[in-house]
Amino acid sequence: MATANNPSRELILERIRAGLRVPAAPAGPSPALSDAFEPVQNALERFQAEAKANLMECFLTADAAASADQLAVTLRSLPEGEIFVQDAPSLRRLIEMANPQRAIRWSSQGGPVEASQATITLAEMLVAQTGSIFVTARCGGRGASVVAPCHIVFATTEQIVPDLHTALSNVQQQSKLKQNSFACMISGSSRTADIEKILVQGAHGPIRLVVVLQRGD
């Protein structure tokens, strides 16, 4: 640690330690997490309901062929132009089946360009409690979930975890933040209500967030 270039580091630590020598006010009992939040009963139903409330488009599909069809339908609704896809075997297969007839930039070639019409990625997991998708840098990088006007996520129902606490515990236990410099819990499309509290979708990031959710694995 470059303390030589940072003379205030020791000074601040010393101030903190001096201050903390004054004993703290006694702590109160901390209620359990289950006291604060209702437990999630049916994770799939809850995810679908919360995703809808978050203004996400969530399509439940039966198998890979149905997922590819849904992907093709979504891509046909977008203006012409390049798309960006996370370079993963499952997405390569899906793209081959959907056959989008567009220029494709794979994440192995770098991040998405500003003009990308859509980005297609996997997710680490889905969170039922908040209707969120959890991505890390491995899901195509940082720009993959924010640069294009449409972000399409391909996930399976087995990736749904009931609540935020489970999601974050998994991240810690699986050392996901040791392997990635970035992670993000995304709960809907980009939005703002900075003008007269009126909700506008698509502030700086995607206007649409589409989840193709395939049953089973």
Partner 1 sequence: MSASTPTRPAVTPSSTTAPQQGAANDHAGPVDPAQKFLRDAAIKSADIAHRDIIRFNMESYATAHQRGRGRFKDWDAARRRCQEIKREAVNHLDKYLLQFEANVTARGGHVFWAATSEEACAYIVELAQRHKVKTVVKSKSMVTEEIHLNAALEKVGVTAWETDLGEYIVQLRNEPPYHIVTPAMHLMRDQIRDLFREKLNEPGLSNDPQELVAAARRKLRQAFFAAEMGISGANFIVADPGVIAISTNEGNGRLTTSVPRIHVAVTGIEKVIPRLEDLATLWPVLATSGTGQPVTTYGTLIGGPRQPGEADGPEEFHVVLVDNGRSGLLANAEQREVLHCIRCGACMNTCPVYRHIGGHAYGTIYGGPIGSVLTPHLRGPNFEHLSYASSLCGACTSVCPVRIDLHHHLLHNRHDSAMAGHAAAGGRTQWKIFSRAMQSPAMYSLGGWMMRRGLRALYALGLAGTALDPMRKWNIKRAPVPLPAQSFRAQWRKDLGNGK
User: Of residues 165-194, which lie at the interface with partner 1 (CB under 8 A)?
Assistant: 165, 167-169, 171-172, 177-194
Q: Tell me which of 4, 27, 80, 89 binds partner 1, using CB under 8 A.
A: 27
Binders of partner 1 among residues 143 to 162 (CB under 8 A) are 143-147
| Pick 53 or 73: Cβ nearer partner 1 | 53
Residue 43's CB is within 10 A of a number of other CB atoms, namely: 18
Binders of partner 1 among residues 88 to 117 (CB under 8 A) are 107-108, 110-112, 114
198 makes contact with partner 1 (CB under 8 A)? yes
158's CB contacts (< 8 A; 6+ apart) are 216, 217
Count of chain residues binding partner 1 (CB under 8 A): 86
What tokens does 7 get?
Answer: 């003379």
The interface region with partner 1, picked from 48-56, 59-67, 88-96, 153-161 by CB under 8 A, is 48-56
Distance of CA 58 to the CA centre of its chain: 14
Q: Tell me which of 70, 74, 130, 156 binds partner 1, using CB under 8 A.
A: 130
Q: Is the dihedral of CA 194, 78, 122, 156 positive or negative?
A: positive
* Phi, psi of 109, deg, nearest 5: -95, 0
Any alpha helices (H) in 54-144, and if so which ranges?
Answer: 64-76, 89-98
Cα(170)–Cα(11) distance, integer angstroms: 37
Q: Tell me which of 16, 41, 79, 80 binds partner 1, using CB under 8 A.
A: 16
**Smallest distance, partner 1 to C-beta of residue 66, A:** 28
77 makes contact with partner 1 (CB under 8 A)? no
